[in-house]
Structure 1
Amino acid sequence: MIGTWVVGGAFVQRARGLKAVNRAVPCLWVLGVICWELLTPHETEVVPLLAAAPAIACASSGRRRCILLLGGASLLFALAPPTALEPDGDAEEPHAGLVSCGAILAVAVASYLTGGRRLRLVRELEQMRAVATAAQDAVLRPLPARLEGIEVAGGYLSASRGAVVGGDLYEVLATPHGVRVIIGDARGHGLAAISTVAAVLGSFREAAHDEPELAGVLRRLDRALQRHLRERALGDPPAGEEPGTPVAEEFVTVLLLEVGPDGETTALNCGHPWPYLLSEEATGAPRIRRPALGEVLPPLGPFPLPADLPAARCAPLHPGDTLFLHTDGAEDARDAQGRFFPLGTALAEAAGPGPIVPAALVTQVREAVLRHTGGRLADDIALLALSQESKPGQPPGHFTPRAN
């Protein structure tokens, strides 16, 4: 599933802690002013400082009830009899208390009105976020846990703050021709590339079911991208993209995979990194290799596809084997010293001894990326893991023949 990849419990606890601090700050301000007034000489006027309490409540919590309570408490303190606070009174400024009350009342009313406007804006923002999340989920849909005997897990890290998806894409579909997979990377990142991602994924979701060969799927993707780029050239640039960006510079790297019922795997690669193959050795230790599976074609967009598109024949995916696919943002991620993320090492540590679980593999790799970069990403990152499940009583390496 698509996720923001923040530890849920820690995030909730931190949010609750911030809310408690925000509510306590204006109360502490009022308490501090009262103590200051009672402990300092009577010639020092600090009561007018209470006027800041409603404003602080508006800026911190924004709750209008809190603004009213603090404003009322401040008014009561300012209206307290002089004998209680200043036994000698103030002959030079007999109306100082009324001036303080007026200031407190004015700030409280302004804060109350501002808090109401802020509440409306927050509600509108929450509604817009809900709509944006639904739209982004429609573009990059949550993956099923299993498809035709293949365990699936995927995840996403967006380089744009507040965005769930960006310029990377992936999808896994069960089709009459086998389980078909796409992972790709559109030029740019974040919100500016979502329209291109939507065009490519929409075409794949149709072509994967219709086309009997991967070459036909790739040609459909190329036509859809060219049509999308022509429409973009005639219209306004997408949100987040600088005006004047040449459409001719747009491209999408794509890796297409097809896994048959017998584990036979074929691939077509247009400028995308090849996947890692993880398998379990007899000793229980993971074996990680990255085979070169054939010719890599240019990315879709700048150049036409060649007339012949031979799909690369990969080694069969045995029960327990896992394919780990990723976009280049994973290997290009850097830390504060400029060092690249060691993806192979992270995979070896995440796989560990024993059976490889795709969901755990993806989770541990993305956590390693976040630790390495300190949460500061320069590009979107998509991760995808596919594992051939072992059937009960089925020895490793045994496959059911493909139906004719």
Structure 2
Amino acid sequence: MIRIKARAPTARAAVLPTLWGAVAVAYKFGCPLAQQDGLGARIATSAVFFAVGTGLIFHVRRALLRELRQVRRVARAAQSVVLRPLPPRLDGLNIAAAQLSADRGAIIGGDLYEAIATEHGVRVVMGDVRGHGLAALGTVAAVLGSFREAAHDEPELEGVLRRLERALARHLRERARAEHPANGGPDPDHPVAEEFVTVLLLELDGEGELRALNCGHPWPYVLSGTGVEPLTRAEPLPPLGPFPLPSALQAHPCGRLRPGDSLVLFTDGVEDARDGQGRFFSLPDVLRRAGREHPVPPQTVLRTVFTALLHHTAGSPSDDMALLVLRNDRTTACSHLLGARGSARATTDGPQPTTHR
């Protein structure tokens, strides 16, 4: 848990307001000019009290700005722990990611993403918590913490998703008890019972083959030399939270990410962004402009999309937005080597299920 400790007012902080107040009182009751009823005396008295009031306002303003800077430093530290920066290169992949909060001045939103190289392949998660801002931070931390462990521990993608579901359910139960300890159990009418998270899980093996599990999240786009296409048009599962996962889960094969091609993951705040006339943001059109020169660096894709988004929304997005761009920079020889390493591990560990391959 991250706590922001408020500092008690110190004697030093109270010196200036006390001094200003003492000057005002001393002037009112000790200065002969303040006792006179003439116009000049009244103007002088008003000027003194105006100066004292202005000084107090500026002092309070400076104190509030100092506290605001301190809170923002804490928020940046929290973001670096919860939503840590992704490495620029990961197992032969070029990666770039960024997020934009809908709360003006906020640093942390309700979107989450992570990419991890494991012995089972590179595993990626992209998610969107209901709501935005600091209220969603606890849920983001619970889901990401579970993914970072399960991605290494679970040999199949289905096991990773079930771990995320259990972590989210445990977090929501604990949050409900903390907010209403007298209830003693989950309340279906409590707002926590309506929380949900959309989650997209991807697994990329050494040969570039993609497998995915999608719980209510937008499918990513593939940016290649031939254009922009959705990764797949399969129907996703419901979001995590309101409904349990089906007893039989099967990861969806999504084809192969060829060398030089990019995968663009995003949250629904991107395509749901509207301009002043209510028109939705067209992400595929922006990606086509960004990918005219193939292959395009992921950092260029991010910069192009976020610039277009801010222009489309006039700098005031109504929802959190996150993008993760992953480009396959593996050569053919490198891909064969990674595939051989994966086959050797599978042989060492014994026979593995092949129903989803």
- 1:297 aligned onto 2:240: no
| Partner Cα distance (1:114, 1:184) in 2 | 44
Pairing partner for 1:111 from 54, 72, 79: 54
Partner of 2:220: 275
1:344 maps onto 2:287 in alignment: no
State the 1:183 CA deviation. Answer: 0.3
Deviations 1:35-75 (A, max 9, x none): xxxxxxxxxxxxxxxxxxxxxxxxxxxxx9xxxxxxxxxxx
Name the CA distance, whole Å, in 1 between partners of 2:108 and 2:58: 32
**Against the structure 1 CA distance between its residues 330 and 176, is the aligned structure 2 distance closer, same or farther, given a 3 Å change threshold?**
same
Counterpart of 2:91 (choices 143, 148, 164) is: 148
Q: How many residues align?
A: 301
Moved more, 270-279 or 347-356: 347-356
1:275·1:325 contact (CA, 8 Å) conserved in 2?
Answer: yes
Question: Could you say which residue in structure 2 is the equivalent of 1:3?
Answer: none
How many Å apart are 1:103 and its aligned residue?
3.2
Match of 2:168 in 1: 225
Q: Does 1:387 align with 2:327?
A: yes
Q: Is the 2:200–2:213 contact (alpha carbons within 8 Å) kept by the matching residues of 1?
A: yes
Q: CA offsets, 1:6-34, max 9 Å, x none?
A: xxxxxxxxxxxxxxxxxxxxxxxxxxxxx
TM-score by length of structure 2 reads 0.78
Q: For residues 88 and 97 of structure 2, what CA distance do their matches in structure 1 show?
A: 9
* Structure 1 counterpart of 2:311, one-letter code: R
SS of the equivalent of 2:146 reads: helix
- Could you report, residue by residue, the CA deviation over 1:233-287 in whole angstroms, capped at 9, with x for unpaired residues? 22228xxxxxx65333221111001112221221111111111011124xxxxx2
Measured at CA, do residues 399 and 296 of structure 1 come closer, stay the same or move farther in structure 2, by a change above 3 Å? farther
1:257 aligns with 2:202: yes
Partners of 1:399 and 1:339 lie apart in 2 by: 47
CA RMSD of aligned residues (A): 2.5
- Other-structure match for 1:201: 144
Is 1:402 matched with 2:322?
no
Is 2:274 the partner of 1:334? yes
Equivalent position of 1:376 in the other structure = 316
Offset, 1:95: 6.6
| Residues 1:210 and 2:150 are matched in the alignment | no
Q: Shift of residue 99 of structure 1?
A: 4.7
Calculate percent identity across the aligned residue pairs. 56
Distance in 1, matches of 2:208 and 2:269, equals 28
Aligned equivalent of 1:359, options 291, 299, 303:
299
What residue number does 1:164 align with?
107
Match of residue 37 from structure 1 = none
Q: Secondary structure at the match of 2:322?
A: strand
Look up the match of 2:28. none
C-alpha contact (below 8 Å) 2:224/2:294 kept by paired residues: no
Superposed displacement of residue 355, structure 1: 2.1
Unpaired segments of 5 or more residues in structure 1?
1-63, 65-92, 238-243, 282-286
Which one of 50, 56, 81 corresponds to residue 138 of structure 1? Answer: 81
> Residue by residue, what CA displacement relative to the aligned partner does 1:80-113 show, whole Å, maximum 9, x if unpaired?
xxxxxxxxxxxxx997555544433332233223
Shift of the 397–209 alpha-carbon distance from structure 1 to 2, 3 Å rule, reads: closer
Summarize the Cα distance change of 1:197–1:98 in structure 2 as closer, same or farther, 3 Å threshold.
same
Question: Aligned with 2:327: secondary structure?
Answer: strand
1:248 matched to 2:193? The reply is: yes
Measure, in 2, the Cα distance between the counterparts of 1:210 and 1:229: 23
Name the SS of the counterpart of 1:224 in structure 2. Answer: helix
8 A contact 2:142–2:167 mirrored in 1 = yes
Shift of 1:317: 1.6
Q: Secondary structure at the match of 1:402?
A: helix
The amino acid of 2:167's aligned partner reads A
- 1:142-196 deviations in Å (ceiling 9; x for gaps): 1111111111111111111222222211111122222110001111222222221
Alignment of 1:58-207 (within 5 A): 99-207=42-150
CA gap of 1:273–1:399, structure 2 versus 1, over 3 A, is farther
Measured at CA, do residues 268 and 197 of structure 1 come closer, stay the same or move farther in structure 2, by a change above 3 Å? Answer: same
* 1:235 alignment counterpart: 178
Q: 1:320 aligns with which of 228, 236, 260?
A: 260
Gaps of 5+ in 2: 1-15, 17-35, 181-188, 345-357
Judged with a 3 Å threshold, the aligned counterparts in structure 2 of structure 1 residues 245 and 189 are, in CA distance, closer, same or farther, namely: farther
Q: What amino acid sits opposite 1:351 in the alignment?
A: G
Q: Partner amino acid for 1:220? A: R
Residues 106 and 290 (structure 1 numbering): CA distance in 2 closer, same or farther, change over 3 Å? same
The answer (yes or no) to whether the contact 1:318–1:396 under 8 Å persists in 2 is no
Q: Structure 1 pair 137/396, CA: closer, same or farther in 2 (3 Å)?
A: closer
Whether the 8 Å contact between 1:293 and 1:314 is mirrored in structure 2 is: no
